[in-house]
Amino acid sequence: MADPVEAAAWAAVLRRFLPVPPAHVLDVGAGTGALSFLAAELGYDVTALDLSAQMLAKAKEKAAARRHDVTFFHGRADEPPAGPFDAVMERHVAWTLPDPVAAMRAWRKVVSPGGRLVLFEGSWGGEGPFVGAKDTAARAFERLYRVPDDHHAPYPDDLVRALPLARTTSPAPFVAAMRDAGWRAIRLQRLRDVEWAIERRQPWPLGRLGHRPRYALVADA
């Protein structure tokens, strides 16, 4: 969230899909706190959950420096704190789960009656017939522009193949997982403002070549 435009786009998304502040929100896979801090600034009571103690330590440092009142919880995505929470949200986490349905069932157990699940995910495998060609071109431009590696190393192929939601080419698998976990009234909305914000901060034509559709999936307990 170093880019203020992208941060503002995400803040608008949170306000659109989360319950009214000061709702109690569990941020699953919070990492170093980017989404948690945006939610806290909007007036939400936030609990940040992550498997990495190192990431949570960095998040705590940032929270202290910025005076954000966020509760931190070290643990697995499928073993959330008891709550109860008015909403559970995650960003780019569900696709990393070996058993996303079991995790989503666990999240449903810690929300209040009428609680909400909000997933921020994408078609990570890309959509359309020319995805492979665009990805190849994007890698060539990255070498040309000497773009540094992403914030994490590539996941091993055998690991990615074992993840049910890793290489999705539509939101349908996420919808199915939510339904199988017992969530209801599932609705979907494309996050075009976020897509635009991410695209604009990258050198031309990397933003367009690496584009992935992103969406919010929202459901009720």
Tally the domains of the chain: 1
Is the model's pLDDT at 148 over the cut of 80? no
CATH number at residue 31: 3.40.50.150
Structural domain for 146, as ranges: 4-220
Provide, rounded to the nearest whole percent, the portion of the chain with pLDDT above 70: 94
What is the pLDDT averaged over residues 194-213? Answer: 86
Q: How confident is the model at residue 215 (pLDDT cuts 50, 70, 90)?
A: very high
Residue 4 has a pLDDT of: 95
Note the pLDDT of residue 138.
Answer: 64
- What's this model's pTM, rounded to 2 decimal places? 0.90
Calculate the CA dihedral of residues 131, 135, 136, 139 and round it to 10 degrees.
Answer: 170
User: CA 54, CA 72: separation in Å to the nearest integer?
Assistant: 12
Q: What is the mean pLDDT of the chain?
A: 92
* pLDDT of 155 over the 80 cut: no
Neighbours of 113 (CB within 10 A): 7
**Is the pLDDT score of 152 beyond 70?**
no
Tens of pLDDT, residues 33-50: 999 999 999 999 999 999
